[in-house]
A and B are shown apart, each in its own frame.
Chain A
Amino acid sequence: MSLDQLYQQIILDHSKARHGSGLAGIAAPAGASMGQSHQLNPVCGDEVTLRVAVEDGKVAQISWDGEGCSISMASASVLSELAEGMTVDELHAVIGNFREVLRSRGKIHADPEILGDAAAFEGVARYAARVKCAMISWVAAEDALNQAA
């Protein structure tokens, strides 16, 4: 597999222009129930703090702060863009699907109908050492959703 299949344009773009990035600068909607989760990958130092605001069973907003490689930062950006407006159950299902694809070592293809832009991370599944990079913000979102519930 070539490097370009791992670092797809959409990933490189999101790693630069990060959607939802900056906890301090993004005000949480009033009255929403909040959840926040901090995740750290001790191997490479990737770190994400992600906050989710839930209103009427829907994800009203995801915002996050993070430091790490392009895969981890792009993944958090794509997630926050994708999740807004989904119901909590829908987001849980998408996170489950994303995890399944990434842990499949390339055996399960990503379905853009379900994953949207996050399907671009399909190539990461072939690099065992990078799966955690792509997953870190999704694990944080799952944890934050459970807290907001």
Chain B
Amino acid sequence: MALVSTPATLERAVPAMDNAEVLRIRNDFPILGQLVNGQRLVYLDSGATSQNPLSVIEAEQEFYEQRNAAVHRGAHYLAVEATEAFEDARQTIADFIGAGYAETVWTSNATESLNLLSYALSNAALWAAQGRGDARLKDLAVGPGDQIVVTEMEHHANLIPWQELAFRTGATLRYIPIDDAGALRLDMAAEILGSKTKVLAFTHASNVLGTINPVQELVALGRRAGALVVLDACQSAPHMPLNVKELDVDFAVFSGHKMLAPTGIGVLYGKQDLLDVLPPFLTGGSMITTVTMERAEYLPAPQRFEAGTQRISQAVALAAAANYLTETGLDRVHRWESELGQRMVAGLESIPGIRVLGPAAGQERIGLAAFHVDGVHAHDVGQFLDSRGIAVRVGHHCAQPLHRRLGLTATTRASAYLYNTTDDVDAFLEAVAGVRSYFRV
């Protein structure tokens, strides 16, 4: 008798996201149901901060109602429950980005992650100079004559910590410029990066231009120079599948509040062998093995970088957010948001007097668009849109050097997430089309 079976590999194709699904998703986000200025709220500022689904809000509430205690100490029931929730959350986030459990360090946000890393690297120089710690610290130490390389499109959070690291250590900060279309000049990157380059830090996706940077090429350039490669994943981890091992970066950072979680929680990913030798940044409780009145020995990562009582409920909530995204499917979210980004740019390009920053319609971009309205300041654009219930970001989006390079001081940015429909984008476009006539330009 012939056995008829379905091969395990034959999976049903998962349908792409559509407006009907997004409308169901929106039901999970209580805040999106309200009226603003008497109009339906059109929230297009998720690039700044995202909204929380009920499952995330409930995860944090459930933690406080049933499991709250200090973690990693105390022999009582709640302490065990809290520790388990906290460390399970770490495993969830490690899985979410393809990292190891001990490679996933909690921070307050991406900004703190980058500051932690930059201080750990200058501490490496201090330790190495005094023969303290692992012998490999000599290679990691940043010092006079060394180079730190960033790009011209960085958010201030991935620029200023490196400026200050250069200041503390006597290293030189250089940057990979962009071309007029907003793409990185990889030809110049190859010239800039050399044997003196100790750190190469760049954003995965630009929070202003919407471009997705060629991580593979940049990592290859970084490797050839022998530099540590640091990825700012703030605009990618929430919106597309991310695997730090496949990308082969040494460090990656992102914030919880941009990926459906509360504020106050972020992540630093680092390769195990690097995290285990880097000196800590913040010191104090919970990160030590032995302490005498004279000195202390430190735990390995991740505890080495988690001094003091941690953001426990936020970590639990971040894990719930990651689960929400995984269940929806980040590849589907990415495709949907790319469509919304294309719709934004195509629509904006058809409105007279609008200049869109970054890639033109039809070229790859994430689900956001920053633009300049000829004759109208971004603040006025934002105010006009707000009066129609549409929330966008105005200003330099924490990227002053990028704006200066583009000859602008402030722009307006619309940024979508998995809870935005094409109707949201259309309402936004319709409103933008009315801006110049309202301000009589």
A interface residues (Cβ-Cβ under 8 A, vs B): 2-3, 6-7, 12, 15-16, 43-47, 67-71, 127, 130, 133
Q: Is the CB of A69 within 8 A of B395?
A: no
Q: Residue A67 contacts which of B383, B394, B409, B440 (CB distance < 8 angstroms)? A: B409
CB pair A3 B383 closer than 8 Å: yes
A66 to chain B, nearest CB (A): 11
Q: Are A16 and B440 in contact (CB under 8 A)?
A: yes
- CB pair B394–A44 under 8 Å, yes or no, is yes
Residues of A near B396 (CB, < 8 A) are 45
CA distance A37 to B394 in the complex (A): 26
CB atoms of B380 and A45 under 8 A apart:
no
Determine if B395 and A44 form an interchain contact, defined as CB atoms under 8 angstroms apart: yes
Contacts A12-B439, A69-B377 known; A45 to B395 CB distance under 8 Å? yes
| CB pair A44 B440 closer than 8 Å | no
The 9 listed contacts between A and B (C-beta, < 8 Å) are A3-B387, A7-B380, A44-B395, A44-B410, A45-B410, A46-B379, A47-B409, A70-B377, A70-B439
- Please indicate which of the listed interface residues A12, A70, A133 has the most CB atoms of chain B within 10 Å of its own CB: A70
Q: How far is the CA of A12 from the CA of B377 in the complex (A)?
A: 12
| Cα(A7)–Cα(B386), bound, Å | 13
Q: Beyond A70-B439, A130-B379, list 9 extra A-B contacts (CB 8 Å).
A: A2-B387, A3-B383, A7-B438, A12-B440, A45-B409, A69-B378, A70-B376, A130-B383, A133-B379
Q: Which residues of A contact B380 (CB under 8 A)?
A: 7, 69-71
Contact with A along B64-105 (1 / 0, CB 8 A): 000000000000000000000000000000000000000000
Which residue of chain B is the closest to A6 with respect to CB atoms? B383
Q: Which of B378, B387, B438, B439 contacts A44 (CB 8 A)?
A: B378
**B377 lies within 8 A of A68 (CB):** yes
Q: Is B384 an interface residue (CB 8 A)?
A: yes
Q: Nearest-CB distance from A30 to chain B (Å)?
A: 35
Partner among B379, B387, B438, B440 whose Cβ is within 8 Å of the Cβ of A69 = B379
Q: Which of B378, B379, B387, B439 has the most CB of A within 10 A?
A: B379
Q: What CA separation (Å) do A3 and B435 show in the bound complex?
A: 12
> Across chains A and B, which 8 residue pairs bring their CB atoms closest together, nearest first?
A69-B377, A45-B409, A69-B379, A3-B387, A45-B410, A69-B380, A70-B380, A44-B379
The docked-state distance in angstroms from the alpha carbon of A69 to that of B434 is: 17
- What B residues does A45 contact at CB under 8 A? 395-396, 409-410
Docked CA distance A9–B377 (Å): 17
Q: State how many angstroms separate the Cβ of B274 from the closest Cβ of chain A.
A: 35
**Interchain nearest-CB distance for B380 vs A (Å):** 5
Report B-chain residues with C-beta under 8 Å of the C-beta of A130.
379, 383
Contacts of A2 in B (CB 8 A): 387
With both beta carbons as reference points, the residue of chain B lying nearest to A12 in the complex is identified as B440
**Which of B376, B384, B395 is close to A43, meaning CB atoms less than 8 Å apart?**
B395
Q: Give CA–CA (A46, B376) in the complex, Å.
A: 13
Chain A residue nearest to B377 in the complex (CB): A69
Q: Give residues of chain B (376-430) contacting chain A, Cβ–Cβ below 8 Å.
A: 376-380, 383-384, 387, 394-396, 409-410
Alpha-carbon distance between A67 and B395 when the two chains are bound, in angstroms:
13
What is the minimal beta-carbon distance from A13 to any residue of chain B, in angstroms? 9
A3/B439 in contact, CB under 8 A? no
CB of A119, distance to nearest CB on chain B (Å) = 20
- Closest Cβ of chain B to A42, distance in Å, is 9
CB proximity of A47 to chain B, nearest CB, Å? 8
Query: A46 contacts which chain B residues (CB < 8 A)?
Result: 379
Which residues on B sit within 8 Å (CB–CB) of A15?
439
Q: How far is the CB of A128 from chain B (nearest CB, A)?
A: 12
Q: How far in angstroms is the closest Cβ of chain B from A85?
A: 30
Query: Across the interface, which residues of A come within 8 angstroms of B410, CB to CB?
Result: 44-45
Complex Cα distance, B44 from A82, in Å, reads: 40
Tell me, in angstroms, the Cα distance from A47 to B394 when the chains sit together: 16
Q: B residues within 8 A CB of A6? A: 383
Residues 153-173 of B, flagged 1 when their CB comes within 8 A of A and 0 if not, give 000000000000000000000
- Bound together, the chains give a CA A15 to CA B438 distance in angstroms of 13
CB–CB B395/A3 < 8 A: no
Give the chain A neighbours of B409 by CB distance below 8 A. Answer: 45, 47, 67
| B378 neighbours in A (Cβ, 8 Å) | 44, 69
Q: How far is the CA of A67 from the CA of B378 in the complex (A)?
A: 12
Q: For residue B379, which residues in chain A have a CB less than 8 angstroms away from its CB?
A: 44, 46, 68-69, 71, 130, 133
How far apart sit A130 and B382, CA to CA, in the bound complex (Å)?
11
In whole angstroms, how far apart are the Cα atoms of A46 and B394 in the complex? 12
- Please give the distance in Å from A64's CB to the nearest CB on chain B: 16
CB distance from A17 to the nearest CB of B (A): 11
A130 to chain B, nearest CB (A): 7
Task: Please name the residue on chain A nearest to B410 by beta carbon.
Answer: A45
Residue of A nearest to B408 (CB): A45
Assembly CA distance A38 to B254 (angstroms): 37
CA distance A45 to B411 in the complex (A): 10
Question: Which B residues are in CB contact (< 8 Å) with A7?
Answer: 380, 383, 438-439
